[in-house]
Structure formats: structure tokens, C-alpha cells
Structure 1
Amino acid sequence: MSNTKKILTQPLRIFIVAMLMGLLMKVLGWPMATQVMFVSFTTIGILYSFRFWKKPIKQFKDYNKLILVLFWAINGVLNILDVQHTIYIHLVIAISFVLWFVLEGASYLIHGNQHTKNSTLQLLWNIAMVFGTLAIIAGSLMKILHWEYALSLLVLGIVIVFAYVFRDTFAVEGLKNEDTNGEELQA
């Protein structure tokens, strides 16, 4: 498999960071959170669509990822606009996520990027990412149940995931080595 250079990787990562910042702002009740999230979801959808359009060879898994990202972004925008009855959008997201996981996700998550060395620092960052994701899930569930420290755990998880994506986006050594961490491989 040859690895080809993906377009718009950095802008997509920047807007994912902005979306996470907007989510954190929303949880903390800060002003402008809705606007930051709206712009981020919209821009991610547009940038990924353009990235897909510019891709020379498109396979089924590429179409599936496009559907996954677009419906996720549309769902985010519709939730911000308080549109009711988005069950069909959730259904499309769930089906496309399961398809992605079956077609590519498991091997992507297990093998990751074959060209990078797994250093101790990278392993610690990956563990932090898993902890941050679990903290977001647990904090969300605790918030629904109105348990103590739910907001603290949710904010901690968002900050950890934000730090991981921010470091991955703006890492100086990653830019020098043209790191492709987080990008899919093409045949």
C-alpha cells in the first residue's frame, strides 16, 4: 500500500479542535459557544466534502466515510438549531459507523500508522486519549444521572482530548517528518 498525501488535513484538525473548544465552552456556559460549534460543524462538513471530491480514486469505504462525516456534521448543526426528530440522521450515522468499523476501523485502530515508531511518550499520549474519551462518556452519563463531579469529569475528558488533538495538529516534529498519523492509507 502506498501512502498518498491527503489534502486539508491541517484545516480539518484545526476545526475539530475548534469544535472541541466550542463543546467545552458550552459545558461551562460561556458565551459564543453555539456559534463556535456551528461554524466548526459546518466547516468540517464542507472541508471533508471538498477533500472527498478531490480524491482521485474513490472506493466504497471512502463514500461511507463521507456519509459518516457529513451526517455527523449535519446532526451537529441540527442539534444546535434545536431541530426535533433527527432519528433518521442518527440511524444513518450508526449504520455508517458500523460499516466503517467493519471495513476499516478495527485494523485502523489496531495497527494505526505503520510508519511511526511507538515511543513511550506516544504510548502515554494514546493512553491519555483513551482516558479522556472514557472520561467524556462517564461524565456525560453521570451528568444525565445528576451525580456529583459529573461536570468536573466531563470537562477533564474534553480538556484531555482537546490537548491530544491540539498536540497532534501543531506538533513541530510531526510537521517536519510529514507525519501521517490519523490519515487513512490508500491502495
Structure 2
Amino acid sequence: MENSQKANKNLIRVALATLLIGFLMQILHWPYSAGIIFTSFAVILLLYAFRFSKKKEKKPIDIIKMALVLFWTTNGLLTILNFPYTLFFQLGTGFTFIAWFAMEGTAYFMDKKGKVRNSLTEIIWNFIMVIGVLTIILGGLMHLLNWNYSIPTLTLGLTIIASFILKDIFSTPKKNEDEANNEELYS
């Protein structure tokens, strides 16, 4: 993978971590959260569009990923601006996510020969990320039901996911002999 592509990937990850921090700030009713969320969505959209435009060969999965990012970020931007008609973008996000998952979802975690390419440490970190996502979902449901400790639960989940993304940014990548073969899976 080119250095410019890797730098762009890290910038996208920083924007995602900043987006999660903005969500956390909004849950805690801290000032400037809407501005941080809006800026993060805009930066993610611009960086991913730039990354997409730099690809020489655009496969159908690349187009689906670009559509997914476009629908998701546009929905986020319009929601922050209190635009009332975001159903189209929510449906677009859902359909493109299902298409991406059907085409690439579980293959992301496999190498070319169908073997799991993650080490034990990576599997543990992925498990922690799943726990973070489930904690966010649980906190959201608790908040809808007006149960106690919903805000701390959401805060814990968002902190876990932001930590996962930041760990991923600052960890040193290991070189595999078949890295060039799996280039599409990494992008």
C-alpha cells in the first residue's frame, strides 16, 4: 500500500475517533459537540472521496463503500443541521451496508487462502471492539427505557470504541508476504 494511501487511512481513523468523541460530548451535553460531529462527518466524507478518486481501478465493492460513506455522512450532516427528511439517506446507508456486508463482510477477516489472518492479540482487540459496540447498543436501549446508568453505559461503549480506533492508528503494522494480494481487503 502506498504511503499516501496509508496516511489518508490514518486521517480517516482520526476523524472517526473524533466523531466518537463528539458523540460522547453530545451525550454528556458538553458545548461544541455539534460542531465537532459536523466537522468530523465532513472530514470523513472529503477524505474518503479523495481516497476513492485516487484509486486507479475502481471495483464494484469500492463503489459500494463510497456510496455507504456518502449516505452515512450526508445523513449525519443533515441530522446535525436538523433537516427533517433524512429517511432517504438512512435507507441508503442501510442498503449499501447490507450490500457491502454481503460482498465483503466476513472476507475482511480472512487471507487469500481462507485462513483467519488475525493473531491472538488482534482477535482479543476485535472482541473488545464487539464488546464496545454491544455496550453502546445496551446503553442506547437503556436510555430509551429511561433506566439508570444509561449515560455511563453509553460513555463506556464510546470510550472502548474510540480507544480501539486510536490503538489501531498508533500500532505498528506488521508486514505479511501476501499483503499485496489482500490489498482490496485492506482498503
Q: Normalising by structure 2, report the TM-score.
A: 0.86
Q: Which amino acid aligns with 1:15?
A: A
1:92 equivalent in structure 2: 92
Deviation at 1:60, TM superposition (A): 1.1
Per-residue CA shift, 1:77-99, capped at 9, x if unaligned? 11111110211111111110110
Contact 2:110 2:117 (8 Å CA) reproduced: no
1:3-41 deviation per Cα after TM superposition (whole angstroms, max 9, x unaligned): x44711111011011111111111111111111111100
Deviation at 1:178, TM superposition (A): 6.2
Structure 1 partner of 2:25: 25
Runs of at least 5 residues in structure 1 that lack an aligned partner in the other structure = none
Q: Number of paired residues?
A: 176
Deviant stretches of 4+, over 6 Å: 112-115
- In structure 1, how many angstroms separate the alpha carbons of the residues matched to 2:21 and 2:122? 23
Alignment partner, residue 119 of structure 2: 118
1:56-95 map, 5 Å:
56-95=56-95
The amino acid across from 2:162 in the alignment is F
- Considering Cα pairs closer than 8 Å and 6+ residues apart, tell me whether 1 or 2 has the greater RCO: 1
Q: Is the 8 A contact 2:107 2:185 kept in 1?
A: no
Relative distance call for 1:136 and 1:51 in structure 2 (3 A) is same
Deviation at 1:116, TM superposition (A): 5.4
CA distance in 2, matches of 1:74, 1:170: 28
In the alignment, does 2:138 pair up with 1:138? yes
TM-score normalized by the length of structure 1: 0.86
Deviation at 1:106, TM superposition (A): 2.5
> 2:158 aligned with 1:158, yes or no?
yes
Cα deviation code 1:137-170 (max 9, x no counterpart): 1111110111111111111100000100011011
Instruction: List per-residue Cα deviations over 1:51-80 (Å, max 9, x = no partner).
Output: 000000001111110000011011111111
